Amino acid sequence: MNAIISASELASELADQNPPVLLDVRWQLSVAKAAGEPPFDGRAAYAGGHLPGAVFVDLDADLAGPAGAGGRHPLPDVDHFGAVMRAAGVSADRPVVVYDGGQGWAAARAWWLLRWTGHPAVRVLDGGLAAWTGELETGEATAAAEGTFVPVPGSVELLDADGAASLARSGLLLDARAAERYRGDVEPIDRVGGHIPGAVSAPTTENVAADGRFRPAEELAARFKSLGASGTSQVGVYCGSGVSGAHQVLALAVAGIPAALYVGSWSEWSSDPQRPVATGAEPQ
């Protein structure tokens, strides 16, 4: 099964006898607070208009645990995650389509978590809500029936800090953040700027076109090959807190390249002053 689905394909599948469960995961990184702007309210945006039947899932509350030593978006409690998925109507024998406002990062986080916990058929709406041309409904939707999905963690590979450091030397570790954060020129969120020594800069924003849709699979494959994805070496990804990194893992999946995610990412790595930090444009 492809990791992404177009809006036209989704419209067709929603008319089938076994339509996919829809999850709305609208979210934005809360750096705007420092500028005095109100934080983005994903639930309010959802209530204002969402795909018919879609159930809202809160990234911070449901797709991550409390921020701390494990990073800003560590793994959620598995039992809580499973309960949220079942309440949303998720079952292992029914496909799931996840979407967000269009950036794709939050949807990719939900996609990755469902894959990691064993769901066999989950995809991301390519381009998100912005790509949808059908009708929307307002207010709060609930699942027509409780789902039966029981998470079984470990279905895809997960990296910890030590694993990420090792992979940066033995394989290919991609840093999905903006290039200026990788270099250490700026760091608006975490303790210090820079990157994991040996990691290669690969901003996830370069995987999509201007309309937010993924570039064709062959273009993505060529990009990752140019970054060092040889087809034989292991590939890993990290970002700031395991959200945009999930989007990079999704792009790699579209290109046919399996990759592991370091969920703690830079927010965990940089919180420990004993861990080495590289700066500049080179992996070092």
Show which residues are catalytic: 239
151 token code pair: 């998470």
Residue 23 amino acid letter: L
Pairing relationship of beta strands 260-262 and 235-238 according to DSSP bridges? parallel
Measured over the CA atoms of residue 163, residue 63, residue 72 and residue 229, the dihedral's sign is positive
In the three-class reduction of DSSP (H, G, I as helix; E, B as strand; rest coil), residue 36 is classed as coil
Q: Which helix (H) or strand (E) holds 61?
A: helix 59-62
Specify whether the CB–CB gap between 262 and 163 falls below 8 A: yes
Q: What is the DSSP letter of 214?
A: B
- Identify the CA nearest to 189 among candidates 198, 175, 178, 205: 178
The dihedrals phi and psi of 215, each to the nearest 5 degrees, come to: -65, 160
